[in-house]
Amino acid sequence: MAIAGSVCIEYIDGHRVGKRGLAWLIVKPPDKNITAKSFFESLDPDVQRTLRNRFDYWLGGGKHDKYFHGWAEQDYKDSFVFKFQDIRLFGFLCNPREDELSFRVCVLSSYSIKDEWEADKAEKDRMNELKRDKKILTALKDIKEDCLEKKK
């Protein structure tokens, strides 16, 4: 699944703390598989607040598998998910800066409404594909505080 449009990695407002950061993957024109940001923005404000609290807990170094987690399987070690009730926001972990190797970013790209106990293998495979996509790798080298299109 190669990305057809232009790619931007946008930090999520208020969510870059110390050694961790959180960002949205943005594709223009919109891609039907890159939906995390638009889905998040459509959520009830109380649900957004709960998820933002979980973002902050992870950013602060917290561990809580009920709120967020990666996977122990070697093939999916960089896949990541934030959870609330049946909502799942999927992303991947990366080290985007050669001059700051200890800094980790979780790039959120898609969502699902979970109806099974186990995460969908296809979702984890998609995260692996995105992490290797050439356009995304290029965008990761120049993460913006905000997408250029929004500043115009």
Angle at 135 between CA 132 and CA 138, to 5 degrees: 90
pLDDT tens readout for residues 74-131: 999 999 999 999 999 999 999 887 777 888 999 999 999 987 656 678 889 999 999 9
Of 15, 90, 101, 10, nearest to 59 by C-alpha is 15
CB 91 within 8 A of CB 101: no
CATH number of domain containing 30: 3.30.2310.20
Position 133 in a domain: yes
70 located within any domain: yes
For 57-146, where are the E strands, in sequence order?
Answer: 68-70, 79-84, 87-94, 104-113
φ/ψ region of 109 (left if φ > 0, alpha if ψ in -120 to 50, else beta) reads: alpha
d(CA 20, CA 106): 8
Total number of domains in the chain: 1
pLDDT above 70 covers a percentage of the chain that reads: 88
Residue 152 lies in a domain: no
